[in-house]
Amino acid sequence: YYFPCQRWLAVEEDDGQIVRELVPVDEAFVKKDSENDGQSLATLGLEQKAKSTTYIVKVKTGDKKNAGTDANVFIILYGSKDDTGIISLKASKSNKNKFERGKVDEFTVESVDIGDLKKIKIGHDNKGSSTGWFLEWVEIDAPSLGRCLKFPSGRWLDKSEDDGATERIIFPAELQTKEYIPFVPYEITVYTSDIFGAGTDADVFIVLYGSDGICTQQKSLCLNKREQRMYFERNSVNQFIVELEDVGDVIEKIRIGHKGGGLNSGWHLDRVAIRRLLPNGK
C-alpha cells in the first residue's frame, strides 16, 4: 500500500494539523510519478486533499470568570460511517492566544469521508496552570457537504466544577442546523511570470464567475503569511485545492488580485489554470 502525503504536519504550516489521515493510491501511480513524467509528487498530495472533507470548526469559550483554559484541547467527530480519531485543536486561525474568555477560535480539520456528522467528543488534557474551561458551543461547517451544525454546551469542563468531567459528548441542535448547496473542490494553478520583480508576498485572492451571474465568495489562496512568502515567486507554478461554491460547467471569467501591503506586493501574473474536480477525482 502506498500512502502519499506531500503536506506539512506542523502547527504553523498549511492548515495547522499535526496528524493526517491518508488514503492509499495505486502503486503504478507512485512509480509513474517517481519517473517524473509530467506529474509532480505534490499533485498526489493535492489529489488526497480533494478526496477529503474539510470541516471549519468554531469553538466559543464562555464569557465567565476563569472561563478560558491553557490545557490542550482535542475533538473527535463521529459520523454515520466512521470517526476522525483524536484531533488536537492547536492552530487557531482567529486568535494567537486560544480558548480565552468570550472568544471564538476557528480551526480547519480534514478527514476522509465519515458520513453524516452525528456527534462530537470535545475535551482537554487538564495540563497547565489554569485548566478549567467553560465551553459555550461548537459550530462545525462542512462546505463540501453543504451543512453547518451547532453543538451547544454551556457547561464547565473542569475537575473542580459541574460534574468534574474534562471531556463531553455533544449532539447537534437540530433546529440550528443550516443547509446550503454543497461546495466543490477546484484545482487552481497559478503561473507567476519570469521577469524581474514578478513575485509577490501579498495576500492573493480569487473569485470564480459562472453563467447566469453565479459567482463564488472571494477566497484567499494562502492560509497564512508564511505561505504568502513561500508562494508566487518569480517564474513559479503554485497549485491549490480550494473548496468554493459550484459555479457550474462553464467558468465565464475570474477575478484575481491581492490586498497590497508589505515590501514586495507588486505581482506580474502570467496565467491561471482552473480544473473543477468531480467526485471521482477527475
- Quick check: is 252 in a domain? yes
- Quick check: is 46 in a domain? no
- CA nearest to 142, candidates 114, 101, 170: 114
- CA nearest to 172, candidates 140, 135, 124, 134: 140
- Which of 163, 179, 195 terminates a domain? The answer is 179
- Quick check: is 96 in a domain? yes
- Quick check: is 45 in a domain? no
What is the model's pLDDT at position 29?
A: 57
- Quick check: is 213 in a domain? yes
State whether 198 and 93 are in the same domain.
no
Query: Rounded to whole angstroms, how far apart are CA atoms 144 and 111?
Result: 12
State whether 155 and 256 are in the same domain.
no
- Quick check: is 281 in a domain? no
Residues in the chain, overall count: 282
Domain span including residue 214: 2-38+182-276
State whether 174 and 187 are in the same domain.
no
State whether 109 and 224 are in the same domain.
no
Burial 25-43 (b: 16+ CB within 10 A, else e): beeeeeeebeeeeeeeeeb
- Residue 208, φ and ψ in degrees, nearest 5: -105, 140
State whether 175 and 57 are in the same domain.
yes
Q: What is the 3-state secondary structure (H, E, C) of 49-95?
A: HHHCEEEEEEEEECCCCCCCCCCCEEEEEEECCCECCCEECCCCCCC
Query: Rounded to whole angstroms, how far apart are CA atoms 214 and 245?
Result: 9
State whether 247 and 271 are in the same domain.
yes
**Interacting residues of 259 by C-beta distance below 8 A, sequence separation 6+:** 202, 203, 205
- Quick check: is 134 in a domain? yes
State whether 175 and 189 are in the same domain.
no
State whether 218 and 245 are in the same domain.
yes
Other CB atoms within 10 A of residue 205 CB: 16
State whether 130 and 75 are in the same domain.
yes
Query: Rounded to whole angstroms, how far apart are CA atoms 77 and 271?
Result: 39
- Residue 92, φ and ψ in degrees, nearest 5: -75, 130
- CA nearest to 51, candidates 14, 8, 3: 3
State whether 81 and 148 are in the same domain.
yes
Strand-strand pairing, 178-179 and 147-157: antiparallel
What is the model's pLDDT at position 282?
A: 44
- Which of 139, 154, 179 terminates a domain? The answer is 179
For the chain, what is the domain count? Answer: 2
What's the average pLDDT block by block, 10 residues per block, for the chain (282 residues)? 81 80 69 51 62 88 92 93 89 89 92 89 91 94 91 93 90 92 90 92 93 90 84 92 89 91 85 80 46
- For residue 212, give the CATH number of its domain: 2.60.60.20
What is the model's pLDDT at position 38?
A: 45
What is the model's pLDDT at position 49?
A: 67
Query: Rounded to whole angstroms, how far apart are CA atoms 30 and 51?
Result: 17
What is the model's pLDDT at position 163?
A: 87
State whether 139 and 70 are in the same domain.
yes
- Which of 119, 154, 179 terminates a domain? The answer is 179
Query: Rounded to whole angstroms, how far apart are CA atoms 156 and 274?
Result: 47
State whether 130 and 162 are in the same domain.
yes
Query: Rounded to whole angstroms, how far apart are CA atoms 174 and 172?
Result: 6
